[in-house]
Amino acid sequence: MRNDRSGAVPSSGGSRDPRRAIESLGQFCEELASLSRGGSPIDPEVLARCEGVDPAAIARLAAGLDLLGAVLGGEEDPTRPQGGLEGADSLALGRYVDAVQIARGGMGAVLRAEDPDLERTVAIKVQLAGRRARPESVTRFLREARITGQLEHPNIPPVHELAKTPDGRWYFSMKLVEGRTLAEELRRRGELPRSRRPEATLRLLGVILKVCDALRYAHSRGVFHRDLKPANIMIGEFGEVLVMDW
């Protein structure tokens, strides 16, 4: 990679002119694409050793691209203070009680809560407050709830209810999946002694087959998962496999 304006990752110092930064980033990405088309592997460690490329700048670039992806995807800047759940335990969620936040994403937070009528623990995804609650975000939130609710398959979490809080935020309750993500299982496999990895691989192949079953069913209903990744696949304590975040 050349040590010139097209080969260096834009620095966060100096001029803050966004037009120059975007132009420089575009040239850098074009050069990476050229390497890829030529069959050259793009290894981050090798990239960091290229003349004129600062490893710290690569880290800033990765963070910037994540931010750009979030903004272009219709989300707010995740580095800015946003509205959220001002005390999950104080939210009025219909019959559900004892809500505790266990995860948070771009459109909503996931809570663990109790359903006293059926005496079971459920997961509740609730829309965030503040500027994230824009009309397009509401549309995406409702689309996720309705699509997931329409996909009745053993490897897709069932949705129990779609409702609104008194302050107008949508939420939906669904099966609580306790276990690990496929991403965590893959990391655990990599940490095993080599002699135990084939057994772990066979077990994970079984997980992948269940994921394929879920996708095949969804495709038959005209639904395509647009964010399928190991972090969105849950493996339960008793071997259940669920594809999340539709």
**What is the separation of C-alpha 229 from the centre of its chain, rounded to a whole number of angstroms?**
8
- Report, as an integer, the average pLDDT of 107-115: 90
> What is the pLDDT, as a whole number, of residue 12?
45
137 pLDDT band, cuts 50/70/90, is: confident
Residue with tokens 């097209």: 6
For residue 126, give the nearest of 109, 101, 106 by alpha carbon. 109
Which residues is 243 bridged to in the sheet? 233
Report the chain's terminal Cα–Cα distance, integer Å: 40
For residue 128, give the nearest of 84, 70, 79, 71 by alpha carbon. 84
Residue type, 203: R
* CA–CA gap between residue 131 and residue 147 (Å, rounded): 24
- Report, as an integer, the average pLDDT of 28-40: 61
Report which listed range, 114-123, 198-207, 231-240, is most confident.
114-123
Return mean pLDDT, the chain. 76
**What is the separation of C-alpha 21 from the centre of its chain, rounded to a whole number of angstroms?**
27
246 pLDDT band, cuts 50/70/90, is: confident
Helices within the chain (DSSP H only) = 18-37, 44-48, 55-72, 135-150, 182-191, 197-220
For CA atoms 233, 237, 239, 240, give the dihedral sign. Answer: negative
What percent of the chain is predicted at pLDDT more than 90? 38
- Report, as an integer, the average pLDDT of 92-98: 92
Q: What angle do CA 62, 232, 56 make, to 5 degrees?
A: 15
**Catalytic residue set:** 227
58-91 pLDDT per residue, tens: 556 655 555 554 444 444 444 443 445 554 556 7
Which run of H or E residues covers position 233? strand 233-236
- Report, as an integer, the average pLDDT of 159-167: 92
183-225 pLDDT per residue, tens: 999 988 888 888 888 888 888 999 999 999 999 999 999 999 9
* Cβ–Cβ under 8 Å, residues 126 and 163: no
> What is the pLDDT, as a whole number, of residue 152?
94
pTM of the complete model beyond 0.75:
no
- Report, as an integer, the average pLDDT of 154-173: 93
| Confidence check: pLDDT of 175 > 60 | yes
Residue type, 108: G
What percent of the chain is predicted at pLDDT more than 70? 61
- With 0-12 / 13-18 / 19 or more C-beta atoms within 10 angstroms meaning exposed / middle / buried, residue 241 is buried
Classify 170 in phi/psi space as left (phi over 0), alpha (psi -120 to 50) or beta: beta
> What is the pLDDT, as a whole number, of residue 128?
83
> What is the pLDDT, as a whole number, of residue 164?
92
57 pLDDT band, cuts 50/70/90, is: low
Q: 10: helix, coil or strand?
A: coil
